Structure 1
Amino acid sequence: MRTAMAPMKTALIVLAHWVLQNAVCREVTLPNGPLFRVAGFPLSLPCRVSEYEGPRTQEFEWFLYRDDSGGRQIGVVSTRDKGFPYVPFQARVRNGEVRVERDSGDRVRLMIQRLRTEDQGKYECYTPSTDSTYQGNYSNSVTVKVIPDTLRVSFTRSLTGQPVPEGADLTLTCSASIQSEQLTHLSITFGRRAGSEVPESGAGGEVSNVREIIAIDKLLGVVPGQFYKKRYDNGEITLEKRNGEGGQGVYVMKMKAVQPDDTGSYFCETSQWILDPDRSWQKIASRTMDIGNLTVQQLAETMSVTSAPRGEVTLQVGSPLILTCEVLGLPSDVNSGLLVQWMKRGSVSSDEAGTGGVEVEVARMSPDGLVSWGDDLGRASGGSLEKVAEGKYSLKLFSARPSDSGVYRCAVSVYAGRTSPGLSTPATLTQRSEGVTVNLRTKDVLVSAVAQLPRGPLLKRGNTITLICNATVTTTGPAQAQVHWLRWPLPEPVLKREPDPAPADPPVIQMPTRVATLMYNGVSNIYVNGSEISVDRLSAISYRLRVHVAASEDQGMYACHAEAWAQDPHGGWYNMGAKAESNAVTVYLYARAADLLLIPLVVGVSSALFVGIFIIATVTCCFMKRLRRQRAQK
């Protein structure tokens, strides 16, 4: 048994040693060929070595076998021997045009900055052995074909650097073509540099102030730049290809509504791409054409908004109020949408216009010409906002009211280059005019109000409370009184007591409750929900409030407030601002007779019930005592 196992053990050891030796075999890898590259442009050949022994930093040597060399090798460059290059490459290696760049210890790439026609041939990457035994692949080769440079690019019209108004449209055109026997694709990119000079590369070779605007990539798809994607999605930047003469492709980029940030130096870059045997796309040629400088003149430098009349205007109530807003300095060759708003701040008492009150919108005209009014919707029939000329807008109030006094300003928002902006589109610029102070002289008006409680029997709960308010309005022209009824709670009784040395708290001022209103047009509004209330007009000056089936909560001090309302020549009613407050009338409700009889009845029933219970308890107690004595005698 032992003799049979010994040969098997030896065979296994030999097999394991053979597998171990063959598992670690040096391998040198290059891209699959042939590779087509363009004369005058860079060549980059990556080479890596794997499955090796020895140090992690490996050495590399490059050889070239030209097509016409009859198989003779030419030393190109080496990572360990400066004297390695043959004569054809010595000068190019010294000036860095031909070099080896390391990606890692076992990965390098052969770089030829400007490929020449005579550089065509088979390139061999060789790695000197650092292994304990010589086995595996120590070199590999790939064929490079050098094709002529046929890439052409031109532009139609250059930018002169003259200022272009903000919001104008920009159109750039580049033409590009290639003539190649190989199947190659052409990409084109429009870009912008922030300055007029060609920038230097920053860390990592990235150009900090160059931004790609839009491109047709190697797969022939349109791709916007990172900083221009939103404008591309909004349809403000487009790129299309047209067929030109002689097979040239004409590429037209259009940019709508240029912005101040668009100032800079513009260029178009076209590149030739080829699909290598490993199915990866490689850029084999590229050219950049400077189109020129663009300077965008900001709208804020030229635009202004004025309003007329200037300063202060004093009108009689009922007169028409006409205000004009004019926008100046808009570029004539740019179609822009305008949002025009008339704003008003309440009347001010200080010398500086517009310092008091809250500013509200009176009316607005949207970029599409739609007019809307602010909170006072009644103005839609009593006024107008019109475009009377290019850049000139007129606000008319047919009959001015006292509430129309205040400081008016015209606010204009410009959407440069956008005639129909979306709801979420921000305005390019908003400017406001100087304030116009409008004062209105009210008519001489006198308002009086007297409240009274008609004589009659004492008011009791459940009766009807009747209050009369005599209100008069004395003025010229049609006028009416609008009457408000208010109620305060009854005052607390005052009890005399010794003076308290501590200071008493100030009395709390009770706010009135609005009971009802009879408006100038005869419409009544009732504000108290718990009671049945009605208001009506008995005569030209007499107004009546009735509280039916009055309850305790209807007690209090009643007063009426009268406001003067006048009618303008166009039939509209407005508050004249004059008012009067009447005297206070105290309403107290007494208890009814039925309520007074209820008290003795309740007291009598309670007393009788108490006496009956007492008698029954006494009799029962005596009877029980006698019963216990009788039982004790037995």
Structure 2
Amino acid sequence: MRCMRRGCRAATSTSTEWAGTGRSFVSSACGRRMPGCMSATRPPPTPSTWAPTAPKYCSEVPPPLTLPLTLSLTRTVTHTECYTPTTDAQYLGSYSAKVLLRVLPDSLQVSGRSAPRGRLVPAPPLQLTLSEGSDLHVDCTALSDSPQHSHLSVSFGLTRPGAPVGRHTLQDIVSVQRDFSVEPAQSDPYSRRHQMGELRVEKSDSGTFKLVLSRAQPQDSGTYHCTAAQWLQDPDGTWQRVAEKRSILAEVTIQTIESQLKVSSGPRELTINSGEVLEMWCNVSLAVVPPPDVGFAAEWYRKATEDAPEQLVARLSQDGFVTMGGRYSGGEGGARHISLEKMPPLPGTYRLRIHSAQPGDVGLYSCRANALVTYPGARVEEVAQRVAPSVGVAMRTQDVALDAHTLLQSSTLHRGDTAILLCNVTVETPQPVRIAISWWAELPGEDPEETAGRLVASLSREGVSETGFRLFGEELVTDKAGPQCYRLRMYNIQPEDEGKYYCAATAWVQYPDLSWYNAATARSNSVTLYPYARAKDLLLIPMVAGVASALFVGIFILATVTCCYMKHLRIRKR
């Protein structure tokens, strides 16, 4: 409501405004004089009460002064007048403005539950307990039976557990504006979750709004509120909020998966024979049925002793892909036959089977279960992990006694000869084995404490020969000379081949799954290889030295005789 002063003439205006029941917000403008505002049933205030300094010139048009007023109204229709009396002798006249206020009934209702025919019934807030990763649905019903056309806005908020319920502790989540646009809270995590599609608002009927939080997290626990506001549009296009109410919808508790995840393994102790199937299981369970977006993965680890580092045996992802550890995916022993499978019911039992177990499989096995939540965009986050007690594995094996002895076929070798080294292997075992041989050399100048030598040649368990290191690349051959005798031949030995040589024998046992196991290893004694120089090589040096000395002496004598002769000729000419 405005009362305007224009020049020096009195003016009176009348308008109509809407207000909510019980109070109204009225604006008054009456030049630079302090306005008075009163109901039509009350007398105007005395001029002395409103006596600020007036303008000095009649041509001056004072700017309007707006004064917000709060009135207690109980009738649906009332007349209100803004009255400004003249308190200056220079300006004559009184100014006033009237407004017709129509009071709207307080029909705004907010609740978490609805009743037939749109009537809301008061009810205590819901008590919801959900598992982490489940979808959270909270309904808010906002209705208004106002005769004047109005718009509603609805916003959802959260009060953290243990915090007092109030506007200062209320954290905004998302709101539906009066033009039905959805605006998430500007701060994380709700702006990010809304952008990723994990936070949305659904409108199920004319007055019910549903807040949906996909894959609920532990920080989503708390008391959920719904705030509804009623808006009216003035003729000038501005919007006025005439009513606002808040209701508690639900008290939500999100139980973490980590608090519900249980993992056990068995059997606690296991003793098997070498070559048998090693089988262990890992049971993963939850206190409740797991949500559809929650998956599980299992990993089996082994360590030889309590203080030894862990080695991955096998891993089964939530998508069903199996990954084998480096020790079991191939190598000298070949590929191992290992299976890791998931058995129902959900979350499931993960069974590890090692076919044809070897003595190297002895140790402590532990199962590690991981709970993962899949978000939109194929984003996966681990939310919980549990490790089951270890399973101790012992094995009854068949001993393999292995020994090796190296000898040099010829004790005296000269440069250019062929050196033949023999490695005699003795093996005692009731099971069939295959022997692999490797020849090593420790050359002069190398520190035996820092290096075990250099590989010269090898013969695999399949009988394949491979050559290793030789300084000048001369030919060498390794083969099997007898049932348990292995031979190394080095042709055209040179002084650079001097050193200590030994052989290393490895006994391999093959299991039914065609994998190989290193059952025993033995190192032989060392023999010294020293290539002597030949006799002709020994005479060559003195002969060359004698010839050189003779030539030197002859040249010296010839030079001396020549000088004396030339000197004698010079004397005779005188």
| Same fold per superposition (TM over 0.5) | yes
Q: TM-score range by the shorter chain?
A: 0.7 to 0.9
CA deviations over 1:459-482 (Å, ceiling 9, x no partner): 42x555432222243322331122
Q: Which residue of 2 aligns with 1:575?
A: 518
Q: Compute the displacement of 1:397 (Å).
A: 0.6
Letter in 2 for 1:441: R
Letter in 2 for 1:414: A
Within the alignment, does 1:387 sit opposite 2:387 as a pair?
no
Q: Which residue of 1 aligns with 2:405?
A: 450
- Tell me how far apart the structure 2 counterparts of residues 480 and 173 of structure 1 sit (CA, whole Å): 75
Contact 1:196 1:293 (8 Å CA) reproduced = no
Contact 1:186 1:270 (8 Å CA) reproduced = yes
Letter in 1 for 2:285: L
Q: Which residue of 2 aligns with 1:501?
A: none
- Tell me how far apart the structure 1 counterparts of residues 335 and 235 of structure 2 sit (CA, whole Å): 74
Within a 5 Å distance, the mapping from 1:165-564 to structure 2 comes to 165-177=131-143, 186-195=152-161, 198-200=164-166, 207=168, 209-217=169-177, 220-224=181-185, 226-242=188-204, 244=205, 248-272=206-230, 283-310=241-268, 312-332=269-289, 334-335=291-292, 336-346=294-304, 348=305, 355-375=306-326, 376-378=328-330, 382-390=337-345, 391-415=348-372, 418=373, 425-455=380-410, 458-460=413-415, 464-490=418-444, 509-515=449-455, 516-524=457-465, 526-528=467-469, 530=471, 531=473, 534-548=477-491, 550=493, 552-564=495-507
Contact 1:337 1:420 (8 Å CA) reproduced = no
1:477 counterpart SS class: coil
My pick for the range that moved more, 546-555 or 439-448, is: 546-555
Letter in 2 for 1:431: R
- Tell me how far apart the structure 2 counterparts of residues 282 and 381 of structure 1 sit (CA, whole Å): 77
Aligned-CA RMSD value: 5.0
Q: Which residue of 2 aligns with 1:566?
A: 509
Q: Which residue of 2 aligns with 1:17?
A: none
- Tell me how far apart the structure 1 counterparts of residues 25 and 344 of structure 2 sit (CA, whole Å): 65
- Do the aligned partners of residues 550 and 146 (structure 1) sit closer, same or farther apart at CA in structure 2, a change above 3 Å counting? farther
Letter in 2 for 1:386: E
- Do the aligned partners of residues 295 and 457 (structure 1) sit closer, same or farther apart at CA in structure 2, a change above 3 Å counting? same
- Tell me how far apart the structure 2 counterparts of residues 272 and 562 of structure 1 sit (CA, whole Å): 92
- Tell me how far apart the structure 2 counterparts of residues 279 and 341 of structure 1 sit (CA, whole Å): 65
Within a 5 Å distance, the mapping from 1:4-19 to structure 2 comes to none
Letter in 2 for 1:215: S
Q: Compute the displacement of 1:332 (Å).
A: 1.7
Q: Compute the displacement of 1:217 (Å).
A: 4.1
Q: Compute the displacement of 1:407 (Å).
A: 0.3
Contact 2:410 2:420 (8 Å CA) reproduced = no
Q: Mark the runs of 5 or more structure 2 residues left unpaired by the alignment.
A: 1-14, 51-64, 115-123
CA deviations over 1:185-222 (Å, ceiling 9, x no partner): 54332221113675346xxxxx2x43223333456134
- Do the aligned partners of residues 444 and 437 (structure 1) sit closer, same or farther apart at CA in structure 2, a change above 3 Å counting? same
Letter in 1 for 2:176: I
Letter in 1 for 2:402: V
Q: Which residue of 2 aligns with 1:499?
A: none
Q: Which residue of 2 aligns with 1:495?
A: none
- Tell me how far apart the structure 2 counterparts of residues 381 and 142 of structure 1 sit (CA, whole Å): 97
CA deviations over 1:414-434 (Å, ceiling 9, x no partner): 12xx36898863322111111
- The alignment of Structure 1 onto Structure 2 pairs a total of residues equal to 516
Contact 1:473 1:481 (8 Å CA) reproduced = no
Contact 1:41 1:285 (8 Å CA) reproduced = no
Q: Which residue of 2 aligns with 1:78?
A: none
- Do the aligned partners of residues 241 and 582 (structure 1) sit closer, same or farther apart at CA in structure 2, a change above 3 Å counting? same
- Do the aligned partners of residues 110 and 573 (structure 1) sit closer, same or farther apart at CA in structure 2, a change above 3 Å counting? same
> 1:154 is matched with which residue: 100, 111, 116?
111
Within a 5 Å distance, the mapping from 1:64-103 to structure 2 comes to 64=37
Letter in 1 for 2:316: M
1:427 counterpart SS class: strand
- Tell me how far apart the structure 1 counterparts of residues 568 and 303 of structure 2 sit (CA, whole Å): 100
User: What TM-score do you get using the length of structure 1 for normalisation?
Assistant: 0.66
Q: Which residue of 1 aligns with 2:58?
A: none
1:403 counterpart SS class: helix
Q: Compute the displacement of 1:273 (Å).
A: 5.2
- Do the aligned partners of residues 200 and 388 (structure 1) sit closer, same or farther apart at CA in structure 2, a change above 3 Å counting? closer
- Tell me how far apart the structure 2 counterparts of residues 143 and 601 of structure 1 sit (CA, whole Å): 142
2:531 counterpart SS class: coil
Q: Compute the displacement of 1:509 (Å).
A: 2.7
Contact 1:563 1:580 (8 Å CA) reproduced = yes
1:226 counterpart SS class: coil
Contact 2:77 2:100 (8 Å CA) reproduced = no
Identity of aligned residues (%): 33
Contact 1:373 1:380 (8 Å CA) reproduced = no
Contact 1:125 1:141 (8 Å CA) reproduced = no
Q: Compute the displacement of 1:320 (Å).
A: 0.7
- Do the aligned partners of residues 468 and 422 (structure 1) sit closer, same or farther apart at CA in structure 2, a change above 3 Å counting? farther
- Do the aligned partners of residues 448 and 287 (structure 1) sit closer, same or farther apart at CA in structure 2, a change above 3 Å counting? same
CA deviations over 1:220-277 (Å, ceiling 9, x no partner): 13425523344444443332334x1xxx143222223333322211122233456789
- Tell me how far apart the structure 2 counterparts of residues 619 and 113 of structure 1 sit (CA, whole Å): 151
Contact 2:37 2:81 (8 Å CA) reproduced = yes
- Tell me how far apart the structure 1 counterparts of residues 534 and 16 of structure 2 sit (CA, whole Å): 119
User: What TM-score do you get using the length of structure 2 for normalisation?
Assistant: 0.72
- Tell me how far apart the structure 2 counterparts of residues 234 and 413 of structure 1 sit (CA, whole Å): 24
Contact 1:473 1:480 (8 Å CA) reproduced = no
- Do the aligned partners of residues 74 and 373 (structure 1) sit closer, same or farther apart at CA in structure 2, a change above 3 Å counting? farther
Q: Compute the displacement of 1:289 (Å).
A: 2.0
Q: Compute the displacement of 1:568 (Å).
A: 1.0
- Tell me how far apart the structure 2 counterparts of residues 573 and 327 of structure 1 sit (CA, whole Å): 34
- Tell me how far apart the structure 1 counterparts of residues 83 and 540 of structure 2 sit (CA, whole Å): 126
- Tell me how far apart the structure 2 counterparts of residues 404 and 69 of structure 1 sit (CA, whole Å): 101
2:360 counterpart SS class: helix
